[in-house]
Every structure is written in C-alpha cells, then in structure tokens.
Structure 1
Amino acid sequence: MISRVTTQMTMATAQARLQAGAAKLADLTDQATTLKAIRKPSDDPAGTATAMQVRKEQAQAAQHARNADDAAGWLATTDSALADVGKVLGKVRDLTVQAANDGTMNDTARDAIVKELQGLKADLLSTANTKYGTRSVFAGSSPAAAAYAPDTTWAGSSAPSVTRTIGDGDQVRVDTDGSAVFGTGGTSVFALLDGIVSDLQAGTNVNARLNQVDAAQAAVRSAQADVGVRHSAALAAQDSLKTLSTTLEGRRSGVEDKALAQAVLDLQLQSTNYQAALAVTAKVLQPTLMDYLR
C-alpha cells in the first residue's frame, strides 16, 4: 500500500531537517567561539570520562610539583648552611693550628685568637638555627623555632623524619638531624670551641684539639653528601614533573579542546550546507492556497 504524501507532511519533514541543521550550526558556532569540543557531558560521555581522569592526574601532578619545589628549597637552604658551617670550621682549624705553635705566641696574639674563636662560635650558633620558612632546618622533625637554644642545647628531634611526596610512592626526606652535624652537650662543636678557648686562656697547648676539629669537619661533610643526594632527587623530580605536566595538558587539550582551524572549517561547511538546504527547500516547496485546501 502506497501512503499518500501531502504537502503538509513534506513541509513538516523539511522543517524538522532545517531545524536540525540550524541546531548543528549553532552548536558549531559555539565550538568555534569557545574552542571547546566538550561543553557538557552529553556532548561526549566517553571523552568526558577521559577528561575527568586526566584532570585528576593533573591535580595530583601539581601537588607533587609543589612538594618537590618545597623539598628542593628546604634542602638547598640546608646545603648552603652546611657549606657555611664547613667554612667556619675551616677557620677554626686554621686558628687552632696557629695557636698550637705557642712558642711564637704572645698574649696579644692569643687574646686575638680567643676573640675570633668566640665570634666563630656565635656564627656557628646562628647557622645552626637557619630556617626555611618557619621551620628550623637542623631541628630534625621538631617544630621548634630554633634548633639550638642560646646555651647551645639542642631542641630538635631525630625521629620521625619530615618527608615530601614527590611522586607515586616516591618520597624525599627534607629534615636534617642537627645533633649529627653539630653534636650535643659536651661533644658538640660549641663545646669544642669553648674547650679550645679555655685551653688558650689557661696556657695549654691546643694541638690535641685538632683531631676533634677534623672529626667535626668530617661530620659536616657527611651531612652535606647526604643532603646533596636528597636535593638531587628533588631537582630530578621537578624536571620529570614539568615534563609530565606538559604531557597531561596535551592529553587534556586533545580531548576537551578543538583546534581553531578545524572549528572554522566545520562551521563554514555546516553554514554552506544549511544555506543550500534553505535554498533547495524554498524551490521545492512552493505551496499555494490550493495545496492547503487539498
């Protein structure tokens, strides 16, 4: 059986197609304006799921990058402080060697060395209380405002460690145990300088103190090597996270964004198709009053 096709049916069909074309044209116009391929989940459900996963990975990578930056800054500060400690202890050793030649030392020269050693002790104490932000870098895991009190008592804690997560399952320790660098109590570098000063004031030869100075320098070098390894790990994480950030942004853009050239081309094609459809429909459907009366 052949169905009768009326003019109204033809016009309704044509109108529906034209409306669909107009809607597609409006959609492509919006895409060309925003350069977004996905503006709502229904545009591309699968793409939306992928984009959400990529954005989750981007947020995680951004947090890791902030952690790596913090770790690198903390460890760079510690490394610089240790370098300063090494220089001070080098001066202490030179002065100790000079003072050990007591056969050529007079009271004036001895007093000058004593004053310089006392000044170096103050420098060491200041460096031992170096801070990164609000945290003392040599207080270990302790939140103490200063690693060493004015009487050179250590106020830090050696456990647990302060770490920063710089990747999936990858952490770097940022704190440094000041007691392992400067010592505590009667075995600290501060006590060592006090001992050298006391020996000089008492007229005792300080040559025996050189081994202690050498041991203190060795402790600082060991700490520097450890901090250097951790600092390198933080710097390497920074580089890898920058690369990862670029990769993830490329993935996100590939799913969510639309290239300008492609957006303009699609819009032009749809506009041409829509104008052609309008023209063809206008020519094919030219109803008269009699068409409606039938």
Structure 2
Amino acid sequence: MFRITQRSMADTTYANLQSSLGRSQQLQAQLSSGKQVGRPSDSPIGASDIMQLRGERAATDQYVRNAENGLSWLTSSDSALQQSSEALRRARELTVQGGSTSLSQAGRDAIALELVGIRDSLVELANTQYLGRPVFGGTTAGPVAFAPDGSYVGDGGSVERRVGADSSVRVDVDGAAAFGTGATSVFATLDAVVADLRAGSPSGPHLGRIDASAERISGMLSDVGARTNRIDALKLKADDTAITLRSAQSQIEDIDLPKAILELQMQTVAYQAALGATGKVLQPTLLDFLR
C-alpha cells in the first residue's frame, strides 16, 4: 500500500499554497496594469492575436492620418479654385465693359489696370501652398507651380495618399490643366485683353477664351469635390475599422475589472483559510518546514 507520510502531506500542502499565492500575485499584477495579457506566457494565443490586431490598428490609424492630410491638400486646392473662379467672373465683367466701342481710352486704361491686378492675384492663387508645397505643382520640389510671367514650372506629377488597403487617391490638382499653359493659359488670355485695351482696341473678342478658362476651373472644382467625397467615405470606413479593432483588442487584452477584483478577494480569503487550517493540521511539522 502507498503510505502517505507527514513529509509528503507537507510538500503537497506547500505546493497548493504556493499555487494559490501565485494566482493572487497574478491577479494583483493584472489589476495594477489593467491587462490580463501582459506577456506572451500569460496567453500565447491571446498574445499572438493582440500582436496581429496592433499591426492592423497601426495600418488603419495611418490610413486615417493619410486621409486627413489628403483632405487638407484638397481643401487648399478647393479654396484656391473657388477664389480663382470668382476672379474670372469679375474679369469677364470687365472684359464685357471693355468691349464697348463708346468707352473712352481712360476707361479702357482703368479696366486694364484692374485686370492686371486680377491676373497677378490668379498667379498667387495658382501658387497656393500646403505645408510649403504648391498644390498645383505636382511633385515639384520648388516653392511655386507658376512663374511670375504665368508659365508653368511644376513637373506634372501627382501626389497621392493611400487611404485604404487597396485605395489611393490623388490629392493635388494638375495646375497646367486647371489654369492652362502657353497661349491658352488664363494668364496669357488676361495679358492679351490688357494689351488690346491699352492699345485702344475692344476686348470683346477675348470673351470666349475667358469662358474656356472658367470652364476648366469649374471642371477642376467638380473633380476636387468628387475626390474629397471619396476620401471622406474612406476615412469614415477607416475610423469605423479602428473602433472595431480597438474593441477586439480590448476584449482580449484588458481585464474585466469587477470580475478580477472579486476573484482576488475570493483567492485571498481562500488562501488565508487554507493557511490557517494547514497550520493546525500539520503542526508542528509544516510550520517548521515553512520556516
């Protein structure tokens, strides 16, 4: 027959007490950190899931930041295009006035002067920057998209932002397409109107070119609006995904506070009771052993 000795009873009891004490210490550590999985040994499967969720969260958070950056680019472009559209509307009004054959030369010179100011303001708008980069200049490293004479000095590249695993959106605007280049640019058109007015010629023949410039800018405004809506939708999707991932990670990683507190209290009571009962049953051997 298997004989249970006082020594074996003491060893078993001591092991059980140590296990109970270890569980109490684990619960205390979880309560202090707020995490039930603080290291891989706590739950290898849980730790693996947490690492995967953290990676997905990092990617999703980056998509959100990219979307916010892209929206800022498009907002800058939209504002500049809106102001350019207003400037062209005024330029058209002045061109119509300058087309009157009964207008005096002094009147033509006054209109020409205002048109020069509009032309210069359009160059400034075409060189609108976001964080030091021209939003109409493509990927150029230079500070402007258009030279003072209205010539395009951008590189025609596109600035894109990845706002989803399979989604990239262009966030700049093709300056050459928006404002034109060479003899067909809005700047060359206004220069021609000013030259005719100062030479005493009516400006009416240039209305078609001004309208064409206005249509180009209007088309770009529609395109910017469409891209803004797309980024907004993708950002909303990324925000929702981030919330879902945070919730999933929290369920695996974070402790259930009320449950953990209750379990610690029960574990402490059980440990104290077991310690007291063991001391009475195994006196004095167990106490000597514990020392």
TM-score range, shorter chain: over 0.9
Query: What's 1:108 paired with?
Result: 106
Q: Contact 1:64 / 1:165 at 8 angstroms: preserved in 2? A: yes
Question: What is the letter of the counterpart of residue 245 of structure 2?
Answer: L
Deviations 1:185-205 (A, max 9, x none): 111111111111111112212
Task: Say whether the 8 Å CA contact 2:160–2:168 is kept in structure 1.
Answer: yes
* 1:255 aligned partner: 252
Task: Find the aligned partners of 2:194 and 2:233 in 1 and give their Cα distance.
Answer: 45
CA distance in 2 between partners of 1:37 and 1:283 (Å): 35
**Contact 2:140/2:154 (<8 A) preserved:** yes
Partner of 2:274: 277
> Are 1:233 and 2:269 counterparts?
no
Look up the SS of the partner of 2:169 in the other structure.
strand
Whole-angstrom distance in 1 between the partners of 2:97 and 2:52: 67
- Larger CA deviation: 39-48 vs 7-16: 7-16
Residue 165 of structure 2 corresponds to 168
Determine the C-alpha separation between the residues in 2 that align with 1:111 and 1:206: 12
In structure 2, stretches of 5+ residues that fail to align are none
Moved more, 181-190 or 72-81: 181-190
Q: Distance in 1 between matches of 2:259 and 2:78?
A: 52
1:143 deviates by 2.6
Whole-Å separation in 1 of the counterparts to 2:113 and 2:17: 96
Deviation, structure 1 residue 101: 1.8
CA contact 2:105–2:200 (8 Å) conserved in 1: no
Decide whether the 8 Å contact of 1:7 with 1:287 is kept in 2. no
Deviations 1:49-79 (A, max 9, x none): 0000000001111111111111110011001
What SS class does the counterpart of residue 102 from structure 1 fall into? coil
TM-score normalised by the chain length of structure 1: 0.94
Q: Distance in 1 between matches of 2:173 and 2:255?
A: 49
Distance in structure 1 (CA, Å) of the matches to 2:215 and 2:254? 57
Matches for 1:76-225 after TM superposition, within 5 Å: 76-103=75-102, 105-159=103-157, 161-225=158-222
Retained in 2: the 8 A contact 1:35–1:263? no
| Identity fraction in percent | 40
Matched position secondary structure for 2:137: coil
- Aligned counterparts of 2:267 and 2:108: Cα–Cα separation in 1: 94
CA distance in structure 1 between the aligned counterparts of 2:265 and 2:33, rounded to whole angstroms: 16
Kept in 2: contact 1:153–1:185 (CA 8 A): yes
Partners in 2 of 1:187 and 1:240 — Cα distance? 42
**Further displaced range: 8-17 or 276-285:** 276-285
What's the counterpart of residue 75 of structure 1? 74
Q: Which residue of 2 aligns with 1:4?
A: 3
The whole-number CA distance in structure 1 between the counterparts of 2:213 and 2:160 is 26
Offset of 1:268 from its aligned partner? 1.0
**Secondary structure of 1:175's aligned partner:** coil
Normalising to structure 2: TM-score of the pair?
0.95
**Cα RMSD (Å) of the superposition?**
1.6
Tell me the distance in 2 between the aligned counterparts of 1:75 and 1:110: 38
Residue in structure 2 matched with residue 24 of structure 1 by the alignment: 23
SS at match of 1:172: strand
Aligned to 1:47: 46
CA contact (8 A) 1:118 1:193 kept: yes
